[in-house]
């Protein structure tokens, strides 16, 4: 494994992600301004040693970078050389961790949900993880569910030795703290900020950073019952990160379209039309559901005329 590069330099603060105003009919018709917060364009300026690593094509990490950065600092401060984390077969978090590990000189281990995948050819997402040097380990669904239990972690340590654990989806207190910067970048810019939610860390931090008088709206992409389980998760993350509730936020649970990575003909038609109108390819698991939800709410009169709505484009297709 390569020696970790100078983390202080490698993780230096980046400029805010770009903000782009677009004219979109369902919003414009009601006198609402729509801004896109382009976190999909976050790219890191991480130096690397081209002699040992060769050219690195960095997977654009989107919002995952905001969550990973403080966790990578903590891992380095704890003297960790290897990161272990968890995700599904198409996890953006696994890809971002693999890329960050390669660039920063951490070894990475990706524990993937589902041992039925073990013998199969890697899908493009996991192939990318492997190309970035991530060791992949497929865990059966029962043990995957119990991944935080000492017994499962002990078995992983027996297999892989010492490692620093990052949670599934990268969401923990440090991740939520990292995402407050997203809120701060949007302070005074928008009245309502929408973001798609998987594990809730991004919403927890965004709401905290946004400041008073502005609302963060989280759009759940997973089916989660009523009230949606994510509401409790976000509350817990805020308690862990900030000591209690922060900001004005709410979870919208009507636009998961059947659940994680599920789609409906209405969602597809919306996303295809949006892409045609703006020439902007949409990430379909999260971002398409966010924009579908926001435009439906605009149509329902949820946002007053003269207000500004920002949609966080958390990742690229």
Ligand X SMILES: *Cc1c(COP(=O)(O)O)cnc(C)c1O
Question: Is residue 178 a contact residue for ligand X (CB under 6 A)?
Answer: no
Question: Is residue 286 a contact residue for ligand X (CB under 6 A)?
Answer: yes
Residue whose CB is less far from ligand X, 201 or 209: 201
Question: Is residue 59 a contact residue for ligand X (CB under 6 A)?
Answer: no
Residue whose CB is less far from ligand X, 4 or 245: 245
Question: Is residue 100 a contact residue for ligand X (CB under 6 A)?
Answer: no
What is the Cα 257 distance to its own chain's centre?
19
Q: Cis (ω within 30 of 0) for the bond into 227?
A: yes
Q: Footprint of ligand X on residues 140-169 (CB under 6 A)?
A: 169
Tell me which stretch binds ligand X (CB under 6 A): 78-86, 194-202, 257-265, 294-302: 194-202
For residue 179, the minimal CB distance to ligand X (Å) is 7
Q: Answer whether 283's CB lies under 8 Å from 314's CB.
A: yes
**Which helix H or strand E contains 221, and what residues bound it?**
none
| From candidates 60, 70, 194, 315, binder to ligand X by CB under 6 A | 315
Residue whose CB is less far from ligand X, 169 or 183: 169
Question: Is residue 92 a contact residue for ligand X (CB under 6 A)?
Answer: yes
Query: How many CB atoms lie under 10 A from the CB of residue 141?
Result: 11
For residue 125, the minimal CB distance to ligand X (Å) is 11
CA distance 236 to 309: 26
Q: How many residues bind ligand X (CB under 6 A)?
A: 19
For residue 157, the minimal CB distance to ligand X (Å) is 26
Q: 35: which strand partners?
A: 21, 310
**Location of structure tokens 């003269």:** 306
DSSP per-residue string spanning 282-314: PPTTTHHHHHHHHHHHHHTT-S-TT-EEEEE--
Question: Is residue 171 a contact residue for ligand X (CB under 6 A)?
Answer: yes
For residue 301, the minimal CB distance to ligand X (Å) is 26
Residue whose CB is less far from ligand X, 171 or 238: 171
Tell me which stretch binds ligand X (CB under 6 A): 74-82, 119-127, 143-151, 190-198: 190-198
Residue whose CB is less far from ligand X, 5 or 192: 192
For 262, counting Cβ atoms within 10 Å of its Cβ (0-12 exposed, 13-18 middle, 19+ buried), the class is middle
CA neighbor of 37 nearest in space, from 170, 206, 178, 174: 206
Q: Footprint of ligand X on residues 197-236 (CB under 6 A)?
A: 197-203
Q: Footprint of ligand X on residues 64-83 (CB under 6 A)?
A: 64
Own/partner long-range contacts of 136-142 (Cβ < 8 Å, ≥24 apart): 136/109, 136/110, 136/112, 137/109, 137/110, 137/111, 137/112, 138/111, 138/112, 138/114, 139/111, 139/112, 139/113, 139/114, 139/115, 140/114, 140/115, 141/113, 141/114, 141/115
Tell me which stretch binds ligand X (CB under 6 A): 2-10, 127-135, 142-150, 280-288: 280-288
CA distance 262 to 254: 13
Question: Is residue 172 a contact residue for ligand X (CB under 6 A)?
Answer: no
Q: Which residue is nearest to ligand X (CB)?
A: 315
Question: Is residue 181 a contact residue for ligand X (CB under 6 A)?
Answer: no
Q: 309: which strand partners?
A: 34, 192
Residue 194 gets the label, from left (phi > 0), alpha (psi -120 to 50) or beta, of beta
Query: How many CB atoms lie under 10 A from the CB of residue 97?
Result: 30
Residue whose CB is less far from ligand X, 5 or 176: 176
Question: Is residue 62 a contact residue for ligand X (CB under 6 A)?
Answer: yes
Interface positions with ligand X (CB under 6 A): 62-64, 92, 169, 171, 196-203, 283, 286-287, 314-315
């Amino acid at each position: 494994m390569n020696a970790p590069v100078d983390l202080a330099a490698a993780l230096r603060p980046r400029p805010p992600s770009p903000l782009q105003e677009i004219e979109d009919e369902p919003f414009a018709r009601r006198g609402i301004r729509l801004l896109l917060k382009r976190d999909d364009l976050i790219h890191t300026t991480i130096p690397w040693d081209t002699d040992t690593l060769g050219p690195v094509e960095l997977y654009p990490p989107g919002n995952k970078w905001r969550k990973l950065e403080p966790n990578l600092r903590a891992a380095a401060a704890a003297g960790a050389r290897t990161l272990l984390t968890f995700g599904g077969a198409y996890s953006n978090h696994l890809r971002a961790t693999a890329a960050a590990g390669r660039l920063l000189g951490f070894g990475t281990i990706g524990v993937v949900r589902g041992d039925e995948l073990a013998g199969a050819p890697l899908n493009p997402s996991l192939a990318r993880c492997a190309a970035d040097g991530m060791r992949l380990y497929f865990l059966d669904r029962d043990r995957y569910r119990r991944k935080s239990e000492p017994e499962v972690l002990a078995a992983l340590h027996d297999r892989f030795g010492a490692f620093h654990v990052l949670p599934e989806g990268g969401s923990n207190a440090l991740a939520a703290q990292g995402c407050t910067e997203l809120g701060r970048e949007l302070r005074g810019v928008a009245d309502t900020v929408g973001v798609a939610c998987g594990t809730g860390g991004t919403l927890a931090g965004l709401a905290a950073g946004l400041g008073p008088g502005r609302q963060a709206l989280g759009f759940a992409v997973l089916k989660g019952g009523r009230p949606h389980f994510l509401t409790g998760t976000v509350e817990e993350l805020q308690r862990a990160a900030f000591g209690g509730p922060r900001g004005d936020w709410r979870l919208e649970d009507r636009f998961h379209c059947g659940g994680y990575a599920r789609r409906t003909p209405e969602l597809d038609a919306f996303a295809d039309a949006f892409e045609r109108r703006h020439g902007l390819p949409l990430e379909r698991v999260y971002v398409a559901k966010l924009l579908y939800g926001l435009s439906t709410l605009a149509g329902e009169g949820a946002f007053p005329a003269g207000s500004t709505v920002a949609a966080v484009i958390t990742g690229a297709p």
